[in-house]
Structure 1
Amino acid sequence: MDGGSGTAAESAVSCARCGKPAHLQCPKCVELKLPREGASFCSQDCFKSSWSSHKLVHQRSKYIGDLDPSQGSQKNWLYCIKKGQMRTSQLPHFDWTGSLRPYPISKYRVVPDAIEKPDWAIDGIPKIEPSSDLQNRVEIKTAEQIERMRETCQIAREILDAAARFIRPGVTTDEIDEVVHQATIAAGGYPSPLNYHFFPKSCCTSVNEVICHGIPDARMLEDGDIVNVDVTLYYKGVHGDLNETYFVGNVDEESQRLVRCTYECLEKAISIVKPGVRFREVGEVINRHASMAGFSVVKSYCGHGIGELFHCAPNIPHYARNKAVGVMKAGQTFTIEPMINAGVWRDRLWPDGWTAVTTDGKRSAQFEHTLLVTETGVEVLTARLPSSPNVFPWLSF
């Protein structure tokens, strides 16, 4: 571990683990000429405690260059592998479940220095979130926190709406990501997914058999596709999270039925949210509606608490007979985000370590809102606005 040197201004860096003033630098980071932010520590103890996660930064830098996105060191579009930490010029080998394939991805997009960033923005490693007591305790938000959540969620809705207006055959999902990214920074926010556990893009775009966490890439959307766009905004110290599944051109009747059913699953789940309702009831409502339509509910991913942390308690499973504990209370904020499959509910991960797909290659749809439990019911913080594009036929009736 190297001691700090240089001017006082240069040494005014926070510890990558605890946030205290840091005067020691990781020697490997110095050798690789990585930014001091995210590579500095206040003590040998903090450095040693962080080593298992911090060393990933060194591995990642070998494949995609300097971690400072402004350097633009990745000049060529490459396939993403290893949870976003590596790139390759060759299509990875995989027993693909459907017709979709990954395409190369572009370099990291730049976020201006002046924008407030979450603690994973530089090195890809969340530090506060994993050890927070809010992983085990459901927070009751203060009035001030709720007001920040309202503002952030409304902006997140406007960003998703901007993406929705852009969707059409011939557009790449990377271009959708560019729309989301630019709209986010124009609002003065940070795109929460960017570099979260090394996720390489500013939103998730999940096409056809992709259930969730699809990485925006160079593939053009085709007439007949369905695509989910998942946006999370970090603004004024809190996160707002929502997603919708959209039709690309002329979509077959079964896919239309799947998407509408998924929308209805979310609406029916929201309708029961109020103080005293058990979290496990959400899955019962969703599973009942999906199974009656002949569809299945994904079990591997769930809704989550949200606020100053991106993900925290409670977990909100979407399937029946789940084991979620606890009851809803006024002041809680969380997401409900059912993923509904046309075929079986099981999923597999692509070699990129993020993209979850259906095991039978059939299509999947998802919708998500961030919700606030009120004294009498629920407030949908990410609700559609009067200006939201009219993209769902069933809302026109």
Structure 2
Amino acid sequence: MKLVAKTFHGLEQVLAGELEALGATNINVLKRAVSFDANKELLYRSNLQLRTAIRILQPLTTFKARNDEELYRAVKAYDWSPYLRDDQTLAIDPVVFSRFFTHSKYVALKVKDAICDQFRDKSGKRPSVDLQRPNLMINVHVAEDQFTLSMDSSGQPLNRRGYRTKEHPAPINEVLAAGMVMLSGYDGSQPFLDPMCGSGTIVMEATMIAARMAPNLKRKEFGFMRWNNYDESLWKKIFDEAQAQVRTPPQRINGSDMALSAIDVSRHSALDFGLKQYIDFEVAPFNEVLPKGKNGIAIMNPPYDERMKSKDIVMLYTQIGDQLKQRFSGWNAWVISSNFEALKVISLKPAERHTLFNGSLECRFQKFDLYEGTKKRRVRNAPDHHPSQS
């Protein structure tokens, strides 16, 4: 079967790599998505194991429509009986980018009516709507007049791992956090630090990677479990294999933040999720944080100036650069921010740049190689400076 895994802009290649590692074939990178060929086992594994996927969709039919009558006829003409019974429930999830259809809820209503009317015409009964736990969640993607209808095998978005038990003012999406950790090359063998960890999302994703823990191992239900062809014994086999792979990380994972309330949220999440024994949290401002160990990886998501005054943000990013240069020799540091001007005052040349989106904000995710001894060598080998060269 053909499947499509949805992701965020900038993480498509990371997701493609994950799929290749799982054994997927015919992998094609799309815009904010990756398509691939799979069987039922890989469908189940993808939902359990993929860190950078938001949803796994199974496309069913495509067609063109420019008005509600064409839409209704095309949906009703497709045979829905292999996937749904008249005594079951459905829900429609519309994603609409079209000049012909400007209201996503109206598109969802027409699709629902067409499917239900097909069953009513055959048996006199029709499926009902259940927005919380439907037997079949149908994703409707509309690009101008091109429709794609897919079964959503995930149900709730896959970023909802289950460890975010308390609210935090500005949490980073779990899929984005996992993608950042994977882009950094972290595999658990190095020390890891998030010195501005907030509610701990980046730390939690790094810990799961280090522990070889499937990101959705604690999740109780997926959409495919309510499908008519659900194979419970196959799922149990896949789940048991994933559970057996979990290990104790070879290095400690560290997270710190200046706000006690944020650290409290982080500790609570890690404790509830069974990962607290692998993580050291501390309350400390960034300028007091010392790296634990050598040649580690630090990832940070500092404020972007959404709520801070410009002079404060310049001071903060200058401080980030100073601290990295002075205390993190031998480490690789990664910083994500939508404030491109503030990133410049870090005053370090990025070794890598990636464009990612944190919500609607376009961000740069930049790597800084902090080589041991580099600064001294550069000073010693620097050419003499003459006023005429200024």
Does TM-score exceed 0.5, indicating one fold? no
More helix as a share of residues: 2
Task: Select the structure with the greater relative contact order (CA < 8 A; seq sep ≥ 6).
Answer: 1
Category of TM-score, reference length = shorter chain: under 0.3
| Structure index of larger Rg | 2
TM-score, with length taken from structure 1: 0.26
TM-score, with length taken from structure 2: 0.26
